[in-house]
Amino acid sequence: MNPTVVALRAGLSRGWIELRQSLTTQSDLFGLAFRIGAVLVVVIWTRGTHLPGMDFSLGTSTLVSVLGLNLVMYGVVTMGDLLVVEREDGTLLRAKATPNGMLGYLVGKVVSTAGQVLLALVITLFIGAFLFTGLTIGHPGSWLTLIWVLVLGLLATLPAGAVLGSLFPSQRSAGPWWLLLLGGLSAISGIFYPITHMPVFLQYIGQVFPMYWLGLGMRSALLPNSLVVVEIGHSWRHLATFGVLATWSVVGLVLAPVVLRRMARRESGSTVATRREKVLRGT
Amino acid sequence: MDDVLVVRDLQMRYGEADVLKGVSFRARRGEVLALLGPNGAGKTTTIEILEGFRIRSAGEVSVLGVDPAHGGEAWRARTGVVLQSWRDHAKWQVRELLAQQGRYYAPYSTVGITRPWDVDDLLESVGLTRHARKRVSDLSGGQRRRLDVAIGIVGRPELLFLDEPTTGFDPEARREFHDLVRGLADREEVTILLTTHDLDEAERLADRILILTGGTIIADGSADELARTLPGQSEVRWTRDGQPFTRSPENATAFVRELFQEYGEAIEDLEVRRASLEDTYMALVHQAERRTPRGLAAVTA
């Protein structure tokens, strides 16, 4: 059989195994529960507040927007962080020492990360549906929009995560940057409050990054149409959403293999050993 | 031509520093080569160049007939790598990980070699059958190392690189590991290049020993051959009339013959101890260090 096909299949099974592992590892489960729980707490906190000028709960709107934030969190940060960690612990080098191992490794990573995104999304939506009114989850159209936004969202975020992850020398140095990235972007992307109430220059900056468009896409799918009035241009802007996310996807998919290949080329036993010693010495 | 490894005048330079200054050696099919040398001698650099993980500055290298700098995936499938510090895949189960790693090799089976190794057979031969369903993070240091070796050979490599494979092994695990490695070389004709600081291990496993120091090979031969290059290294002890004697003659055999001719039955408790690899190694490395860096002539047996 064709070695590439074999590696693709091995990668799929790899991703599935890793997803299953994280669902049976206590610390991973705790992390997942914490992320979902934190979101729900914030959302419940703002449940009584209304969207500016509307008779609609800000909490419900935030809940939906946070699904967009989640995509960035898992797609970029989890993917990027895993690459940093697994470069340090030798996983990547192992893949490099295996025929077509890098291909299998990447496919596996995409599958397991995408699985986590979906899982977090479904659980959040499920709990949200009980706690909040106003979600349009009964419409087939909602799900259709949700699916294409989700697929494009994964394509836009996973390769970006891989590219960013390969830039950081170690997990320790990556941490603050991830926090800054998530915190900064969520503040200017209209996740917790409508972007139209931000200063105009911040609106422009926010619209460069996928997080805003993912939030918008989620809102367009899961919130009633009447809420479109708090959005820029009073429109869900599906075409623009598609355009921006597709652009990020293309750029990421072109850059990621180049950057990853460069990173893999630099890996060898001694680089892994050196990093390990650094970690042990605590410098 | 049965040479699996051919290295000719290999050089490696990092900035101003010459790490390898013209290393040459060969390995035949099924041969076990031990690469010894002090830390910083260039062992790891050499092995990484041969593995295709590092690009050399100059010289000729052929690994399984291919230049490792341009070795493709099919070439990769014929090699096995066991590096020093794996700590990856902590959440995986032992058997699961071995099966996953094996899958990639299936398309590279040949008429003579069915790839990969059957997972259960492999677990059996590295002594991990009882731990097949354990998480990798729950293995002891020695078990973890045996798993590393199993992953290194799951694709039935024709050439195996072992970088300090038995660090952290207890004596029993070490013995079992040595049997495994000898078996691979003798029964499967796997060529093995290993680095180690354990000279007993090198003596027990290797058909041939290379000593690398200061960026060149200063000795290349079997443990016996190396010992013979240094006269006056073996020790003869005996007692005569209840009195103990010890000598280190140039030629132990001739010395003992003369001893018996002279004293006959008066000689008792005779012991001839050949120089251990450790003695030889120390002597050769010190000798090399005493010479000027450029004047290192290879001691070829």
DSSP string, B177-190: HHHHHHHHHHHS--
Residue B68 and residue B49 in contact, taking contact as beta carbons nearer than 8 Å:
yes
Q: For position B198, what pLDDT does the model report? A: 87
Which region among A171-185, A232-246, B69-83, B179-193 has the lowest average model confidence (pLDDT)?
Answer: A171-185
Q: Over 80: is that where the pLDDT of A275 sits?
A: no
Residue A18 lies in a domain: yes
**Domain range holding A223?**
3-270
Q: Using a CB–CB cutoff of 8 Å, tell me whether A102 touches chain B.
A: no
Q: For position B140, what pLDDT does the model report? A: 86
Kindly report whether the peptide bond that precedes residue B116 is cis, defined as omega within 30 degrees of 0.
yes
Residue A237, sorted as left (phi over 0), alpha (psi -120 to 50) or beta, turns out to be left
Q: Can you read off the two tokens belonging to residue B66? A: 């291919």
> A2–B44: do the CB atoms touch at under 8 Å?
no
Strand order through the sheet with B79-82: B79-82, B159-163, B191-195, B32-36, B208-213, B216-221, B299-300
Chain A nearest C-alpha distance from B250 (Å): 42
- The helix (run of H) or strand (run of E) holding residue B242 is none
pLDDT (tens digit per residue) in B75-125: 999 999 998 767 899 999 999 999 999 999 999 999 888 999 999 999 998
**Helix A140-167 and helix A238-266: axis angle, to 10°?**
30
Share of chain A above pLDDT 70, in %: 99
Distance CA B185, CA B179 (A): 10
State which residue of chain A sits closest to B42, comparing Cα positions.
Answer: A270
DSSP B276: P
The backbone torsions φ and ψ at residue B112, rounded to the nearest 5 degrees and listed phi first, read -85, -30
Closest CB from B84, B101, B103 relative to A269: B84
Q: Can you read off the two tokens belonging to residue B53? A: 């993980």
Point out which residues pair with A154 in neighbouring strands: none
Residue B243 and residue B267 in contact, taking contact as beta carbons nearer than 8 Å:
no
Percent composition of chain A: helix, strand, coil (DSSP 3-state, to 5): 80, 0, 20
Site of tokens 């294409």: A148
Residue A282 lies in a domain: no
Point out which residues pair with B60 in neighbouring strands: B8
> A276–B92: do the CB atoms touch at under 8 Å?
no
Closest CB from A86, A269, A270 relative to B88: A86
What does the longest C-alpha to C-alpha distance in chain B come to? Answer: 73
The backbone torsions φ and ψ at residue B133, rounded to the nearest 5 degrees and listed phi first, read -100, 5
Contacts of A3 in chain B (CB under 8 A): 73-74, 104, 107-108
Cα-Cα-Cα-Cα torsion B82, B85, B88, B92, nearest 10 degrees, comes to 70
For the residues A235-246, what does the mean pLDDT come to?
A: 94
Taking the CB of residue B113, how many other CB atoms lie within 10 A of it? Answer: 17
The hierarchical CATH code for the domain B3-225 is 3.40.50.300
Contacts of A269 in chain B (CB under 8 A): 44, 47-48, 51, 53, 83-85, 163
Residue A275 lies in a domain: no
Distance CA A51, CA A196 (A): 12
Q: Where are the domains of chain B?
A: 3-225, 234-273
Q: For position B294, what pLDDT does the model report? A: 45
* CA B111 remoteness from chain centre: 29
State which residue of chain B sits closest to A267, comparing Cα positions.
Answer: B53
Which region among A79-83, A272-276, B103-107, B190-194 has the lowest average model confidence (pLDDT)?
Answer: A272-276
Q: For position B205, what pLDDT does the model report? A: 92
Q: For position B79, what pLDDT does the model report? A: 96
C-alpha dist (Å) from residue B284 to A41, A235, B95, B202: 71, 81, 44, 16
- The helix (run of H) or strand (run of E) holding residue B14 is strand B3-14
pLDDT (tens digit per residue) in B164-184: 888 767 788 788 888 888 999
- The helix (run of H) or strand (run of E) holding residue B8 is strand B3-14
Closest CB from A2, A17, A97 relative to B81: A97
Q: Over 90: is that where the pLDDT of A157 sits?
A: yes
0.90 cut: is pTM over it?
Answer: no
Indicate the number of domains in chain A.
Answer: 1
Pick B258 or B1 by higher pLDDT. B258
Closest CB from B47, B76, B89 relative to A99: B76
Q: Can you read off the two tokens belonging to residue B200? A: 């007993």
Q: Over 70: is that where the pLDDT of B292 sits?
A: no
Q: For position A109, what pLDDT does the model report? A: 92
Q: Over 60: is that where the pLDDT of B295 sits?
A: no
Q: For position A42, what pLDDT does the model report? A: 82
Residue B166 and residue B198 in contact, taking contact as beta carbons nearer than 8 Å:
yes
Contacts of A6 in chain B (CB under 8 A): 103-104, 106-107
Distance CA B13, CA B56 (A): 8
**E strand spans, B15-68:** 17-28, 32-36, 58-63
Residue A158 lies in a domain: yes
Q: Can you read off the two tokens belonging to residue A114? A: 């995408």
Give which of B36, B44, B23 is closest to B280, Cα–Cα: B36
Residue B220 and residue B298 in contact, taking contact as beta carbons nearer than 8 Å:
yes
How far is the first Cα of chain B from the last one, in angstroms, to the nearest whole number? 22
Residue B104 and residue B80 in contact, taking contact as beta carbons nearer than 8 Å:
no
Distance CA A235, CA B280 (A): 83
C-alpha dist (Å) from residue A99 to A84, A93, B48, B71, B235: 22, 12, 17, 11, 51
Contacts of B151 in chain A (CB under 8 A): 94
Helices (H), A46-88: 58-72, 79-88
